[in-house]
Structure 1
Amino acid sequence: MIQTDTRFPTSAGVEAAAAAIAAILPPTPLLPVEINGVRAWVKADNLQPIGSFKIRGAWWRLSNLSAQERAAGVVAVSSGNHAQGVAWSARRLGIRAAIVMPHDAPQVKLDNTAALGAEVVLYQRPQEDRDAVAARLIAERGGTLVHAFGDPWVIEGQGSAAIEIAAQLGRAPGRIIACCGGGGLTAGLGLGAPDARIHPVEPVGWDMVGRAMAAGELVHAAPDAPKTICDALQPNVTKPLNLTLLKDRAEPGVTVTDDEVRDAQRFAFAQLRLVVEPGGAAALAAALAGKVPVDAGTVIMITGGNADPAAYAATIGGGAGAS
């Protein structure tokens, strides 16, 4: 098993990741948006080939594996979007991939991951620890762990979005509002846009990154943490590496409710013609709700579009009970 804590992510690594990703993928659109009378920007990473920004970190990580590591395969943990990023990259590079996914992940994400050729290994959420399941697989089979947010190469790959944003804006962004699960994207954006204010946005009750930054130490999700429709933003705890990178670099975290997320999904559909899954709409939800300032230098990350069809239809139709 590769120990990912032997390497520290850097701004130079983000630049290199951006160049590697640009060689295989076109930049996703940067779209103008008006929020409460103020013009800002939306980075539509839901339009990536796998419907998520996670393809960035997955590609950078897997393309940096040695020939020996590629032959041994990879193991990843994911609620669905990182899974698809790893599966897509593994298929392109000819690497065997096993993905540890929660039993209650949206079926569309489970199906898409399997369709890309990866082996899906289910675990029971919240009873089982997905990292422990992955560790057992690696002990039995060998291979490299490709963590969803705590891997240095993954963090650098996610930060490539900041390089694209600066090129598209023609200047460095002043503020980036980002959906936040374990903190891989926010950490990478902090490296890729060191002068920007980075705002992590998490679901109510699942703000493990925001609480960890405030406490200065890792904070675990409560056993009775509330349900959230943001299935992509439910890690039990962030990693020391992410907390180190975000300390003194990110703005205090904010949280959004399910209703605010649904409002953001409807806004994206009506105003931007974008299909956005709940977890991918959290940053937009915070901006629309006035929880984060918005100005002409603000970029809002839309991070995923792998919406469950029935739940999405209910949300767009105005229903509040969709998950």
Structure 2
Amino acid sequence: MNIDMIRAAADRLDGHVRRTPMLSSPFLDEIAGRRVLVKAECLQHTGSFKFRGGWSAVSALTDAQRHAGVIAFSSGNHAQGVALAARMHGAPAVIIMPSNAPAVKIANTRALGAEVVLYDRATESREAIGDRLATDRGLTLIRPYDDPQVIAGQGTCGLEIAAQAHESGVTQADVLVCCGGGGLTSGVALALQAEAPGLRARPCEPEGFDDATRSLATGTIQRNARAEGSICDAIVTPQPGELTFPIMQALCGPGIAVSDEDCLRALALAFHRLRIVVEPGGAAALAAALFHPDAAQGDAVIAITTGGNVDPDLFADAIRRYPG
């Protein structure tokens, strides 16, 4: 992985990806005790940053590979990103999803034209299912984070952050990233190293599923004890990736673990103060910025709201419980 791959992905994404805005609110600044800038990737196509990696990976395939089709495994956001990218390229897509993924994510993935294969997250391995189907059907597997072209696509978000931070007069800040397997975190870290070395990526995860945080602290890849149990389904992964962890280890600051309740509070505040819709896993970085201010450094902090594909009932309950 290198910055040239990210820049090449940005060229392929040009005209297809949204340059999502950097938002702010004096109310959020007051809660955090510093300036808070929110990179709203929840406004990206399919409702998350995952479209970047999906398009990057599908667009890098040969015509023969696209004709045969692609396969991916995901709890929902990578699923939708790959499904849309495949449809826009005229490629068949098979998506492996946990049976307990939010219904809206399963429905949206099917609506984008993908074949959805459901599995039991607690007893079955999505990697094993993906490898088998890819071999049997001649499909190209697009992994959700441990894939060079996916990392390159996610890194284009970092290029935008570097430019937008410069436009906002921010040269020194922690960039808080909702982190599952580390594709976005490592891609953003590589982009910032090249374009804005005063900005430092920091992974943010749910408590009990803080594998990246523990891995960075120990210097070796740590695995989560459980496969489920957090409302932050979008960023619950077994462990950091073999490709992503060395990049995070070299370039990122320490991780930050946040509670599910803090993510719900951040979700509600994002709606009340910024008027954006964020899912719990996509709110982990904002939760860290608002409710763990001592963990970040600098007069400003940048938080990426990575996804907005939230269950409607959960969202309505959260904004009622936390009126802002």
What per-residue deviation string (whole Å, max 9, x for no partner) do you get for residues 153-177 of structure 1?
1001101011112222336663210
Which of 88, 91, 105 is 2:87 aligned to? Answer: 91
Q: SS at 2:136's partner residue?
A: helix
Structure-2 residue corresponding to 1:52? 48
Could you tell me how far apart the structure 1 residues matched to 2:287 and 2:314 are? 18
Cα separation, 2, equivalents of 1:176 and 1:244? 18
**What are the residue-to-residue correspondences of 1:1-323 with 2, within 5 Å?**
9-33=1-25, 34=29, 35-170=31-166, 174-194=173-193, 195=197, 196-223=199-226, 227-291=229-293, 292-293=295-296, 295-318=298-321
Q: What is the Cα-based RMSD across aligned positions, in Å?
A: 1.6
Larger fraction in helix: 2
Alpha-carbon distance in structure 2 between the residues aligned to 1:88 and 1:203: 28
Kindly state the Cα deviation for residue 69 of structure 1 after the two structures are TM-superposed: 1.0
Q: Which residue of 2 aligns with 1:4?
A: none
Higher mean C-alpha deviation, range 250-259 or range 31-40:
31-40
1:17 shift after superposition: 1.5
Return the letter of the residue paired with 2:204.
Answer: V
Question: Structure 2 vs 1, CA of residues 248 and 25 (structure 1 numbering), >3 Å: closer, same or farther?
Answer: closer
CA contact under 8 A between 2:190 and 2:251: conserved in structure 1? no
TM-aligned CA deviation for residue 138 of structure 1: 1.0
Residue 32 of structure 2 contacts residue 289 of structure 2 at CA under 8 Å; is this kept in 1? no
8 Å CA contact 2:32–2:291 kept in 1: the answer is no
Q: Distance in 1 between matches of 2:157 and 2:95?
A: 24
Deviations 1:60-107 (A, max 9, x none): 010000111112211101000000000000000001110110000000
Query: Normalised by the size of structure 2, how large is the TM-score?
Result: 0.92
Q: Would you say the 8 A contact 1:176–1:301 is kept in 2?
A: yes
Q: Could you tell me the percent identity over the aligned residues?
A: 45
Moved more, 178-187 or 67-76: 67-76
- 1:90 & 1:106 partners in 2: Cα distance? 22
AA in 2 matched with 1:20: R
For residues 27-73 of structure 1, the C-alpha deviation after alignment (integer angstroms, 9 at most, x for no partner) is 11111232434222110010012000000011001000011111221
Deviation track 1:106-129 (CA, whole Å, cap 9, x = no partner) reads 000000000000010111011111
Question: In the aligned structure 2, how far is the partner of 1:296 from the partner of 1:55?
Answer: 31
Q: Deviations over 1:292-319 (max 9, x none)?
A: 3264553210000001001111111118
- 1:2-40, Cα deviation, whole Å (9 max, x unpaired): xxxxxxx21111122223223212311111232434222
Can you give the 5+ residue segments of structure 1 that lack an aligned partner in the other structure?
1-8
Report the 3-state secondary structure (helix = DSSP H, G, I; strand = E; otherwise coil) of the residue aligned with 1:68. Answer: helix
Distance 1:56 1:296, change over 3 A: farther
Number of residue pairs the alignment of both structures matches: 310
Q: Please give the alpha-carbon distance, in whole angstroms, between the structure 1 residues aligned to 2:203 and 2:179.
A: 5
Distance across 2 between alignment mates of 1:77 and 1:266: 29
The two structures have a TM-score, normalised by structure 1, of 0.92
State the SS of the aligned residue for 1:176. strand
Q: Which consecutive segments of 4 or more residues in structure 1 shift more than 6 A?
A: none
How far off is 1:244 after superposition? 1.2
Whether contact under 8 Å (2:155, 2:187) holds in the other structure is: yes
Deviates more, 1:285-294 or 1:187-196: 285-294
- Whole-Å separation in 1 of the counterparts to 2:274 and 2:258: 20
Deviation (angstroms), 1:277 = 0.4
In 1, Cα distance between equivalents of 2:120 and 2:32:
42
Q: Is the contact made by 2:79 and 2:109 (CA closer than 8 Å) also made in structure 1?
A: yes
| Change beyond 3 A, Cα 1:87–1:74 | same
